[in-house]
Structure 1
Amino acid sequence: MANRTLLIDADVLAYQAASALETAIEWEPGFWTWHVEFDAVWQRVDTMVEDIKEKLDADKVVLCLTDPKANFRLDVLPTYKTHRKTTKKPLILFHLKEWLIENRDAVMRPGLEGDDVMGILATRGSGEKIIVSIDKDMKTIPCNYVRTKAVVDADGAELVGAFDILKISEEEADEFHMLQTLMGDVTDGYGGCPGIGATIAEKIVKDRLKKVPYQHELKRGPRKGETETRYKEVECDDLWEAVVSHYAAAGLGEEEALRQARVARILRSSDYDFKNKEVILWTPAT
């Protein structure tokens, strides 16, 4: 198929290849080191990329990487992904990514994650583009999307098994963004709205359920005759209004809802100032 470009999450491929080929060696009793052959690692990445390209009948591949030095989301939410700093990374991961930029034209942009690079490229320009990633967050992008998983071939090489192409509309992407805003993502270090998990969040988004406060008079017990604030759910047309109402019911305001929404949103081309190379933080439509 002509003009089909794959936007591949190279962070995942680099991590998989670099970690899979590390070997622990005991040089003498009690003395261990990690060993890895760099050439074998980049060749593994090339094999994985070619496997994806062949399965999806693509003409071009763009490898997308995360900036390891800065992340605009930390300016929005300082705790974003901070729990990952103590996680051991593969020995040559950083050097592998540098090699991919220099030798495979991988794309990295200051302050952006690889997900953002894919989102921006997928929503800009012409031609068919497909995001290839293991991350469900790509559903916040109106795009063609293939979610992958690692598989192992007969020689033990980790290839990437591609599934069907999902076509995500702008409405579906916007709804998934609000779903993420409500339920958060503990693996990425943002909590969403307290007390709301996936099931409740899905119902709120699907039915546009807004929480409305009312005063309830207690009919019995030691507090008989007193009133307290309770909430009932009603349908509304504005999804953002519905989301904010749940944050308000949890004792938080729109400011916190907006902070979570900005962290949850994977950038689209409309969220990026190409001239000044700056992120345009998401603001709900008025």
Structure 2
Amino acid sequence: MDKRKTLYLIDGSSYIFRAFFGVRQQLSTSKGFPTNALYGFINMIQKVIRDEKPDYLVVAFDSPEKTFRHELYTEYKANRDAPPEELAQQFPFFEPLVEAYGLSSLRRPGFEADDIIGTLAKKGEQAGLEVSIVSGDKDMMQLISPNVHMLDTMKNKKFVDADVIEKFGVGPGQVIEVMGLMGDSSDHIPGVAGVGPKTAAELIQKFGSIKSLYERIDEVEKKKVKEKLERDKDNALMSRELVTININMDIEFKLDDMKLRKFDNAQLRKMFEEFEFTSFIDGLEDAVSEPGKVDTLVVDRPVVDRSEYETILTEESLDRLLKNLVKKKTFAFDMETTSKRPVWARAVGISFSFEEGKACYLPLTHRYLGVPSQLGLEIVFERLKPILENEHIKKCGHNIKYDLIVLANEGV
């Protein structure tokens, strides 16, 4: 049997925010123009092309206009702050970068990148392709099928049916049912107040769907849960609609348009010079402009084994980290914060390494599209404080005086 050709669908808008918050250095040009999101975005795009070698690829972007979801619920994403000014200044350059790399991109007024990806994923699967959705957004898990999977390049993790069941307690086809009940605070989707992921999963496991649940509401055994469901029925039905990705957009599906084209080396050079990306400019010197050939654009770097890098998102993984920090007696740490000025800064996340080749990142207050559930700030520092204040456990770091001031802001 011939191997299926591959279609990679990149959640461009999510990548931009993840690049901005993921590149910890405050990168900027000599004129002060911020470039950290652009730098991270380029590296992410190159990684997908170089490591995955897709046959077809599309980068989808959100539209700045209100979507059909805002028409359904005016408070949709109303809790989102405006993007940081340092990020907003970089917005105009992402799509030109994608074009210079010879890649296709799409955005549609009134729709989100999720809807574009959902529609193309369905069409790609129907066309006999193996589809990879490049994103870390849990909402995308509803799109997973035997020939559609999710790829989170920042975690080097591929998500299939079994991972959806582990995350939501149900398969991909019922993700919208669970999310409709539990809501999504990151998108300001209400769901049923007081019904969390566990209860939502148990209800859908039993009733199959929100519609069936309300048709058989008298079968709900717990009185308080039943009262909550009856009180917030309209919110549950609306939330289900809000979390449902549109897979039937009117988008023409032309594989020829999705092929990787030759790089526009002249345009890339112009942009790299403007952003003062010296390493990328050096990589262009001997580059051969071949479709999808990225390795010629990347300066050789030592291979880093990230197989034992971890993101701390659960109490179990936090417990394991704390035990290692105490056991090793010496560790390095670094902080992601809200400001360059330490007296104003608050913690966004902390990275740790206690052994060569092993490292982890503990996100605390990240806010971006598709952000995973994070452990509570107060709980984390309550657990970390005895270790950080223990003078018998050595701490190492770069510019550690800055971090110590930020820790003091957090009560350590």
Q: TM above 0.5, one fold?
A: yes
Tell me the equivalent position of 1:206: 205
Tell me the equivalent position of 1:163: 157
C-alpha distance in 2 between matches for 1:258 and 1:239:
7
Tell me the equivalent position of 2:302: none
Secondary structure of 2:134's partner?
Answer: strand
Tell me the equivalent position of 2:48: 52
After superposition, the Cα gap between the structure-2 partners of 1:35 and 1:138, relative to the gap in structure 1 and judged at 3 Å, is: same
Q: Which amino acid aligns with 2:118?
A: G
Secondary structure of 1:106's partner?
Answer: strand
Q: Which amino acid aligns with 1:146?
A: M
Q: Considering fraction of residues, name the structure with more strand.
A: 1
Equivalent of 1:3 in 2, 5, 15 = 5
Q: C-alpha root-mean-square deviation of aligned residues, in Å?
A: 3.3
Equivalent of 1:261 in 240, 260, 263 = 240
Q: Deviations over 1:9-44 (max 9, x none)?
A: 11122223355365479x9xxxxx95324xx86564
TM-score (ref. length: structure 2): 0.48
Secondary structure of 2:192's partner?
Answer: coil
Q: How many pairs align?
A: 226
**Structure 1 stretches lacking a partner, 5+ long:** 28-32, 151-160, 209-236, 276-286
Q: Deviations over 1:202-242 (max 9, x none)?
A: 1111122xxxxxxxxxxxxxxxxxxxxxxxxxxxx665221
Tell me the equivalent position of 2:96: 99
Q: How does 1:209-248 map to 2 (within 5 A)?
A: 239-242=210-213, 245=217
Equivalent of 2:152 in 137, 148, 151 = 148
After superposition, the Cα gap between the structure-2 partners of 1:98 and 1:57, relative to the gap in structure 1 and judged at 3 Å, is: closer
C-alpha distance in 2 between matches for 1:241 and 1:195:
20
CA shift for structure 1 position 60: 2.1
C-alpha distance in 2 between matches for 1:41 and 1:188:
22
Equivalent of 2:227 in 227, 249, 262 = 249
Structure 1 vs Structure 2: percent identity of aligned residues? 21
Secondary structure of 2:149's partner?
Answer: strand
Tell me the equivalent position of 2:64: 68
Q: Which amino acid aligns with 1:77?
A: Y
C-alpha distance in 2 between matches for 1:10 and 1:66:
8
CA shift for structure 1 position 187: 0.7
> 1:248, 1:254 within 8 Å by CA — same for their partners in 2?
no
Q: Which has the higher contact order (CA 8 A, sep 6+)?
A: 1
C-alpha distance in 2 between matches for 1:132 and 1:62:
10
**Structure 2 stretches lacking a partner, 5+ long:** 165-169, 253-412
Tell me the equivalent position of 2:138: 136
Tell me the equivalent position of 1:123: 122
> 1:136, 1:147 within 8 Å by CA — same for their partners in 2?
no
Tell me the equivalent position of 2:79: 83
Secondary structure of 2:158's partner?
Answer: coil
> 2:192, 2:233 within 8 Å by CA — same for their partners in 1?
no
Tell me the equivalent position of 1:30: none
Q: Deviations over 1:49-90 (max 9, x none)?
A: 231234334222211111112221100111011111445251
After superposition, the Cα gap between the structure-2 partners of 1:128 and 1:24, relative to the gap in structure 1 and judged at 3 Å, is: closer
C-alpha distance in 2 between matches for 1:254 and 1:274:
34
Tell me the equivalent position of 1:183: 182
After superposition, the Cα gap between the structure-2 partners of 1:182 and 1:243, relative to the gap in structure 1 and judged at 3 Å, is: farther
TM-score (ref. length: structure 1): 0.67
C-alpha distance in 2 between matches for 1:248 and 1:99:
52
Q: How does 1:32-51 map to 2 (within 5 A)?
A: 35-37=33-35, 42=38, 44-51=40-47
Question: Post-superposition, which runs of at least 4 consecutive aligned residues in structure 1 deviate over 6 A?
Answer: none
C-alpha distance in 2 between matches for 1:177 and 1:141:
10
C-alpha distance in 2 between matches for 1:74 and 1:83:
13
Q: Which amino acid aligns with 1:91?
A: A
C-alpha distance in 2 between matches for 1:85 and 1:95:
19
Q: Which amino acid aligns with 1:201?
A: A
Q: Which amino acid aligns with 1:47?
A: N
Secondary structure of 1:145's partner?
Answer: strand
Q: Deviations over 1:111-150 (max 9, x none)?
A: 1111111111111141221111111111122442224153
> 1:18, 1:91 within 8 Å by CA — same for their partners in 2?
no
Secondary structure of 1:164's partner?
Answer: strand
